[in-house]
Amino acid sequence: MTKRYRVCLWGSDSPYCWEHVKEFGDEFDMFSIVIGRTFGYKFDIRIVSPFRRKPLSTIFGVLNIARITYLFLRYDRKCDCHLVHYLSLPYALAIAFLPLRKPIVYCAYGSDVRAPRGITKRVVGKALGRIDTIISGITRSFRTQYIMSKYGVDANKIVSPLMWYPVNPCFRRLDNPTIGNLRKKWNLTKEYVIFSPRSTEEFYNQHLLVEGAGLLSGELKGKIQVVLTGLGDPEYRKRLAEMGRQRGVDVVDLGRILTPDEMAEIYNISVLTPHISKEPDLGRSTFEAVMCGSILLLNKNSEPYREVFRDGKYCRLVEVSAEDIARGIEYILSNANALKDEGERLRITETVNWERNKARIVGCVKALIQEKVRNGARQPRTDQDSNRG
């Protein structure tokens, strides 16, 4: 009988972590440890702070780092491999300084390696040096600029191009009668629906989206609904709603976190999906939108977008300014049928083929475990060991 390896997943309370727990459960015995409580998924161990204000939040933060350190040591003895989602400071500290013996696979998100500065950057860099394999996504710019150049990571330990997150099969195009019924269900009955699926935070520039929509002609503006989810900063959403009222833009706050099936319904209703964040970004929602037939409005200065998507094919690239966003919206609404290139939609769908990508990740994890067994996993890891590639 083939041995089932035990994999310990370290992450946050997020759909990505929960999906890995589910998806890899048929290949590995999964054990999950996460920080935070946002979505309420069921994990084996959850680490939260009951306080948001200082100094109690700081005290509990230090205590949680100590607890995570203990858990890493404990489960390093119990598991065959660590699978790390999002290299937050507590995880980076544990990986950088503990004498861990088991191999580590890290799924790179973006901000966890883009944002660190000073001491935090040095800690993250040391942790990356001790990680065995980094799955960095599909864009060359991200792995070269934010992993190799910034931290000096050996290219041999990076597995790419490989999309490490699954896309739910519910994200598909629906027929027109079904979409008509969904419009009634969600009360999104204006001619043009613009769906912003990302968390409502200033980083994602939803205020520029509302401002840009406000610059459209009165007739066109009256045909538009801008839809927000309930994920993110509620005060920012109130500000967006007020901006909409002042500029004559119908801003719809759904007021809650949507399930994947509900997201798919809104994508199908939406004529366009904006992704105009402040920094280079490549969210899963870009792929979900195209798979459902919604056209992307993208930040033209984001290199990951330019690598994956092609202007004029299910996509319009714009400058991140209200004026250019307005021009981009107007262009998409006037040329929607021409922009919906079916060959492009199928190409994007194939990029996130989960069965293929999952098989590569499983093979990578098993190969690392077997190599450790051959080389003797009893010796604590060192920087030199992990830098062998």
The string of pLDDT tens digits covering residues 197-246 is 999 999 999 999 999 999 999 999 999 999 999 989 999 999 999 999 99
* pLDDT of 365 higher than 90: yes
Task: Give Cα 142 to chain centroid, integer Å.
Answer: 14
Name the H helices within the chain.
15-23, 56-78, 89-97, 111-114, 118-130, 140-143, 150-151, 176-186, 206-214, 218-221, 234-247, 260-269, 284-291, 303-308, 322-334, 336-339, 342-351, 354-375, 383-386
How much is the pLDDT for 31?
A: 97
Q: Rounding to the nearest 10 degrees, give the CA dihedral for residues 254, 259, 260, 263.
A: -10
Bin 135: left if φ > 0, else alpha if -120 < ψ < 50, else beta: beta
Please write the tens of the pLDDT for every residue from 55-69. 777 777 788 899 999
Asked if residues 278 and 135 have their Cβ atoms less than 8 Å apart, the reply is no
Asked if residues 285 and 264 have their Cβ atoms less than 8 Å apart, the reply is no
Q: How far apart are CA 206 and CA 45, in angstroms?
A: 34
How much is the pLDDT for 198?
A: 92
* pLDDT of 311 higher than 90: yes
Tell which residue, 332, 305, 300, has the closest CA to residue 317. Answer: 300
Token pair for 48: 């939260």
Q: How far apart are CA 279 and CA 203, in angstroms?
A: 8
* pLDDT of 357 higher than 50: yes
For the segment 244-262, the average pLDDT, to the nearest whole number, is 95
* pLDDT of 166 higher than 60: yes
For the segment 307-331, the average pLDDT, to the nearest whole number, is 95
* pLDDT of 386 higher than 50: no
**Percentage of residues of the chain with pLDDT beyond 70:** 95
Q: How far apart are CA 64 and CA 157, in angstroms?
A: 30
Please write the tens of the pLDDT for every residue from 106-134. 998 877 887 888 999 999 999 999 999 99
* pLDDT of 50 higher than 80: no
Q: Report domain extents, the chain.
A: 6-166+352-386, 176-351
Q: How far apart are CA 128 and CA 72, in angstroms?
A: 16
Of 195-199, 255-259, 377-381, the range with the lowest mean pLDDT is 377-381
Buried-state track 76-104, b at ≥16 Cβ within 10 A, e below 16: beebbbbbbbbbbbbbbbbbbebebebbb
135: amino acid identity, one letter: I
Please write the tens of the pLDDT for every residue from 9-20. 999 988 889 999
Top CATH class of 6-166+352-386 equals alpha beta
Look at residue 377 and give its three-state secondary structure.
coil
How much is the pLDDT for 378?
A: 43
6-166+352-386 and 176-351: identical CATH topology: yes
Asked if residues 188 and 386 have their Cβ atoms less than 8 Å apart, the reply is no
> pTM for the whole thing?
0.83
Question: What is 176-351's CATH number?
Answer: 3.40.50.2000
